[in-house]
Amino acid sequence: MERPLTANIRPGEPPLDIEGYERSGGYRAVRRALSELSPDDVLELVIDSGLRGRGGAGFPTGQKWRFMPRGDDAPRPRYLIANADEMEPGTFKDRLLLEGDPHQLIEGMILSAYAIGANVAYVFLRDEYRLAAETLRRAIAEATDRGFLGEHILGSEISLSLHLHTSAGRYICGEETALISALEGRRAIPRTKPPFPQLVGLWGKPTVVNNVETLCNVPHIVNNGAEWFRSLGLTSDSGTKLYGASGKVKRPGLWELPMGTPIRELLEEHAGGMRDGYRFRALLPGGASTDFLVEEHLDTPMDFESIQKVGSRLGTGTMIVLDDKTCPVAMLHNLEHFFAQESCGWCTPCRDGLPYVEHLLAAIDAGDGRPRDLALLEMHTRHLGPGRTFCAHAPGAMEPLQSGLRYFRDDFERHIAERRCPYR
Amino acid sequence: MPIYVDNREYPAAPEKNLLEHCLSLGLNLPYFCWHPAMGSVGACRQCAVKQYRDERDTEGRIVMACMTPAAEGLRIGLDEPEARDFRARVIEWLMVNHPHDCPVCEEGGECHLQDMTVMTGHNYRRYRGLKRTHRNQYLGPFLNHEMNRCIACYRCVRFYQDYAGGDDLRAFASHHHVYFGRHEDGVLESEWSGNLAEVCPTGVFTDKPFSKHYVRKWDLQSAPSICVHCGHGCNVAAQERYGRLRRVVNRFNGDVNGYFICDRGRYGHGFVTAPTRVRAPLLRTGNRELEAVGVDEALHAASEMLAGRVIGIGSPRASLEANFALKRLVGDDAFYMGVGGPDAAALEAVHAIRTETATRAPTLIDVENADAMLVLGEDVASTAPRMALALRQATRNRQKAIASGLGIPAWLDQPVRTAGHGQLSPLYVATPVPTRLDAIAAGIFRGSADEIARLGFAIAARIDARAPGVDDLTRDVSELAARIADALASASRPLVVSGVSIRSVAVLEAAANVALALGAKLGRPADLALALPECNSMGLELLGARSLDDALEHAERQPIRAAIVLENDLARRMPRAALERFGERVEHLIVVDHTLHATARAADLVLPAAAFAEGDGTLVNNEGRAQRFFQAYVPDGEIRESWRWLAELARRRGIECGWASLDDVIADCAASSRRLAPIVDAAPGARFRIADRRIAREPARYSGRTAMHANVDIREPKPPEDPDTPLAFSMEGYYGPRVPPALIPFFRAPGWNSNQSVHKFLDETGRALRGGNPGVRLVEPGADARRAYFEARASLPPSGDALRVVPLADVFGSDELAALSPPVAERIPEPCVVLGPADADARGIVDGMTAEIELGETSLALPVRVVPGLAAGTLGVPIGLPGMPFIAAETAKVGGRGTAGDPR
């Protein structure tokens, strides 16, 4: 089975330096692209490959790039940003790529910048990823020394300056427009869309923001072709995916597997099934802002479309597993506390609605719930939905809650009726 | 194609957003974060409506009206249950932490949050938790801060920072802890801070001086008024209860001030109630002190004083009617403008430019629409703040153009700012000292008045070769002139701004030449805005009067029995020695004024004049717009409008004016001059009625009418008559959308108790009141334009030890009346002179040191501030600040024998 993204990563060992990376075939894609391919060729390759954004929304990467204004009179400069602000609860896939193979990301960024005509690129890194920051700094210096970054890359007319920006640490910075605001030194508040960043982005100029894992796929697509990339997936969705599992499973972890690997295989083979004494109850397939899936969904392939069909989202592909001994109300309370705290405070439903939700869940969890609280929670899941809030933060926060209210209705009702948590 | 709202057809307005359009259609849709002057940001989510793709779409989706263009064919539902429910929930969320302290909140009764809460129908609290609380800050003398009431609409920071360029009010923290305030307690620096009381939709920021004598909006008697604190003529409402002027608020006039007034205008009214106020006639008998006397005694004394040669000294801060009455009383030949020396010369120059050249005075909207601007010589941010705020908006036009090229509408605030990242329409600032506009300027020039004038002449000559140029400019200056000229000449709506505070005829004429050169290029009169210092400077010029210097000369020529000084403190207008000499030549000094200033204290008779809120009249602003202000209340004591006193004095001199009411004075004044003829139309006359009713000054809910005088007399007194205006001192009368724009005493509409109700009075453009913005323009370019260009006349500054004096204006301190208002007085800096680093070094002076300043015959010890960027060879002198004498000197010497003060 091919594992292009993690081929160079040895758990417990430091990442390859630039020599090691080049020895294992690294930067070949950059050499090839600059000598043989036009930016449009790279763009077409990525479109053909069917690569979809690995940050959670699954938007086709090539499409995103294609929205960049083209032609000689298009605004310049233009920017590429790697979104490395990995703060989704239960998600730690980009961290592996950043700490384990930094040159892979840099190579992906050089190729992507080439495709979109960007001369300046940023890695926007989560504050807590201190080790990744160190790793990246070293790698960027190495790549610059070897002429992969800076002016006239490999003697060509192409230049790229790559900067590492370590975030001050807010979940909302993962939202691409809030990320751009933060990078400009402003409050991390999402921006109005449209206009999309490809038209009006960083410093008002055309900008593409891609997830780390997305960018890491690009060198392999350039090296091996679109057809190869499409063939990696088990379903109509292309490539491999970093999947993860956390919770009361035997082997919590992270695995690179073909896109479309069924949930059951992930859960039972790779994560080793539930720990002894615990039974599977439900899971959040791709981080905290996805809907719960339950037993009946376990044979669903983990790809963007299949998971959407059963009422959730692939998200980051790193699942959080809920067992039968953990109170789902407490779990939701914990999640909504996170979301309430991470609201940027810009729009009313999110800023004041999420603390309301948190308050209701806290009350129910503490045995102080009232029968009407469930209707109030449902009201919030409706009114904090897409289109009603300024960005996708609150709608994301409502996904586990709305499915939780459906799947764990009995638990909620028992909390309220018995005026206590039955799990304690 | 029309748009459909709740299945009713309305005209579409693709250039507007749906919220603004719905409001202009008279529909009620609640909102918070949107502001007509600041555009849409989509933060509060209050204006949600249901949008449908077409008539077959039964699902629809919720959209924010403020973020959606009112495009043709659009189908929306305001009344859909889902949209209504969502809007009520938004209020419910906002109310989770709101303190519900309406009974003790000063916003109560004019609170947009109250109105919107009632409108959405949310009325039952379901949240059981505790409310989050904040600590409040001390923000200075103008505003209270009560953060617990905040609903986080972000309007305050968007106004203060994005709109007005202030830097010390910010949003802090995040999620539901977001906090709006300063980084630490302290005075809000911006001269626009007071608008927060009107911009805030609830009671976070409230008017602090008003709290000291607070009453509810519905208990205030109001009248349409005009700000008297600079020449811009902002429209305000003066509001009273129990015979005391309580506050001044903005009154919308799209052509003059829009939604905002500066803090000098909002808080300057304290002079009306200050201890310096004159409330009864004051008479000096023999060598005794002035003492209060009855009206009969005062008039009797006046009759005697007036037996002989009498001259009249008018005032740029008195109404046209008052000045006209004085002119009638003393005769045209004995009427003087009450401004002398360099100030009079500058006013004369403005008059000549306005009436003899093909330049046009722009409205506020014109200023905001300019796409290249030159400020020549005038620190407008300090002398005409409202114009500076409009210039600030104009610099954003480039952003709007860039955004428009990307298909982004001008009202979509954040994308416009993002798309036009840091791009500003060119604004060039050429002033002697740094100004608050420098930060947004494309180029800055520092120099003395003469150097600035030379730059201006060079710019004009570069734009049009026929304009007279100047020789021997340095290369830097001539390059800058070329750069400015090119920017202005390539603009489609260029604007030149200047003013009289620099006291330089050359600068004014240079500014006129630039505008004339631009006009030649454009093929139409170009916009030239000239800032004047006082509320009726322009009116006095149009009325026609000679300089105060001529009055002094008159007095030298022949002894004068009496001089009548109208609303004027001559100590601010001429040197002390000249004033003393004048006093010797004049047997009796009669002052008609509301304030006991130096001249009044030296008078033999002081007649108590009505302040702006206590009388009616007409003022002509910078733009040449005649605007009427109206009496808000009948003051206690023997206070009368100046024109009434003067008409009475005239009668006692045997001149029968025949004026029974203000309309008669206006008619005579209008008839006296072709230019002034239109002033009759500035507002409807006293006989105007709507359905046989006057306009009510008091809201229908005005309380306590039968009880408020009961401590004096148990019977309810008859409301005072008003012979001068169509307004009534009563809650009885008409109030509603048919009030003519110039007569709107306050803004309110059913369901809209706050100032947000303005939209119920606007026309479909949103830039004008229905029936047109109030006022009539008296001066239009063209008719009398007989002058091509002014001669370039600015000599090089003298070298040597002497420094060129440049007058310094202070936004709070430069206005005589506002400086008497206690909250404004708190904001006035101590007078100090300003010197460039090189000149300071050469004289061994360090920042903060006190130095001897020789200004002609005057010598002063003042602290020196060393300001980088100040042109070499110039000295900034704070003329007009309280405690400063009148100074006319053009050059100064700074003594080397400085004494170390507290280093700053």
Give the pLDDT of residue B856: 85
With a cut of 80, say whether residue A355 has pLDDT above it. Answer: yes
Strands B48-52 and B61-64 come out as: antiparallel
Give the pLDDT of residue B691: 95
Give which of B45, B94, B126 to mutate to test A binding, by max A Cβ within 10 Å: B45
Q: Do A194 and B415 touch (CB under 8 A)?
A: yes
Give the pLDDT of residue B904: 39
State what percent of residues in chain B have pLDDT above 90: 90
Count CB pairs under 8 A between chains A and B.
112
For residues B278 and B518, give the distance between their C-alpha atoms in angstroms, rounded to a whole number: 49
With a cut of 60, say whether residue B897 has pLDDT above it. Answer: no
3-state secondary structure B840-904: HHHCCCCCCCEEEEEECCEEEEEEEEECCCCCCCEEEECCCCCCCCCCCCCEEEECCCCECCCCC
Q: Do A359 and B418 touch (CB under 8 A)?
A: no
Strands B833-835 and B858-866 come out as: parallel
Half-sphere exposure of B223 (CA within 13 A, CB side): 28
Chain B residue nearest residue A348, CA to CA: B44
For residues B505 and B341, give the distance between their C-alpha atoms in angstroms, rounded to a whole number: 12
Q: What is the CA radius of gyration of chain B?
A: 28
With a cut of 80, say whether residue B31 has pLDDT above it. Answer: yes
Q: What DSSP assignment string belongs to B334-384?
A: GEE-S--HHHHHHHHHHHHHHHHSSEE---HHHHHH-SEEEEES--HHHHS
Q: Do A199 and B406 touch (CB under 8 A)?
A: yes
Domains and CATH numbers, chain A: 4-232 (3.40.50.11540), 240-323 (3.10.20.600), 328-418 (1.20.1440.230)
Interval B338-363 mean pLDDT: 95
* CA B543-B545-B551 angle, 5° bins: 155
Q: How far is A204 from chain B (nearest CA, A)?
A: 5
CB-nearest to A348 from B45, B414, B422 is B45
For residues B648 and B205, give the distance between their C-alpha atoms in angstroms, rounded to a whole number: 46
Length reported for chain A: 424
Q: H or E stretch including A148? A: none
With a cut of 50, say whether residue B8 has pLDDT above it. Answer: yes
Q: Do A348 and B408 touch (CB under 8 A)?
A: no
With a cut of 70, say whether residue A45 has pLDDT above it. Answer: yes
Q: Which residues of B touch A349 (CB under 8 A)?
A: 45, 89-90, 93
B-proximal residues of A, 358-417, CB under 8 Å? 359, 363, 372, 376, 379, 383, 387-390
| DSSP for residue B476 | H
What's the CA dihedral at B183, B187, B193, B196 to 10 degrees?
60
For residues B732 and B716, give the distance between their C-alpha atoms in angstroms, rounded to a whole number: 15
Q: Which residues of A touch B129 (CB under 8 A)?
A: 359, 363
Give the pLDDT of residue B783: 63
**Per-residue pLDDT tens digits for A165-206:** 999 889 999 999 999 999 999 999 999 999 999 999 999 999
Q: Which residues of B touch A392 (CB under 8 A)?
A: none
B552 with B579: CB under 8 angstroms? Answer: no
**Per-residue pLDDT tens digits for B736-786:** 999 999 999 999 999 999 999 999 999 998 999 999 999 999 999 876 677
Give the pLDDT of residue B902: 46
Tell me if the bond preceding A194 is cis, omega within 30° of 0.
yes
Interval A76-105 mean pLDDT: 97
Interval A72-84 mean pLDDT: 94
Give the pLDDT of residue B262: 98
Interval A139-146 mean pLDDT: 97
Q: Do A356 and B412 touch (CB under 8 A)?
A: no
B-proximal residues of A, 326-345, CB under 8 Å? 340-345
Instruction: Work out the pLDDT band at B75, boundaries 50, 70, 90.
Output: very high
B789-802 exposure pattern, b = at least 16 Cβ within 10 A, e = fewer: bbebebeebeeeeb
Q: Do A200 and B408 touch (CB under 8 A)?
A: yes
Chain A residue nearest residue B93, CA to CA: A352
**Phi, psi (rounded to 5 degrees) for B681:** -90, 5
Determine whether B810 is exposed, middle or buried from the number of CB atoms within 10 Å of its CB (0-12, 13-18, 19+). Answer: buried
Instruction: Work out the pLDDT band at A70, boundaries 50, 70, 90.
Output: confident
* CA B389-B394-B397 angle, 5° bins: 145
Chain A residue nearest residue B417, CA to CA: A204
CA distances from B187 to A268, B183, B814 (A): 65, 11, 20
| DSSP for residue A14 | P
Q: How far is B23 from chain A (nearest CA, A)?
A: 21
What's the CA dihedral at B119, B124, B127, B128 to 10 degrees?
150
pTM for this structure? 0.96
CB-nearest to B415 from A192, A372, A388 is A192
Give the pLDDT of residue B786: 75
Chain B residue nearest residue A349, CA to CA: B90
Interval B822-837 mean pLDDT: 96
Dihedral sign, CA of A409, A410, A411, A413? Answer: positive
Instruction: Work out the pLDDT band at B898, boundaries 50, 70, 90.
Output: very low
A351 touches chain B (CB under 8 A): yes
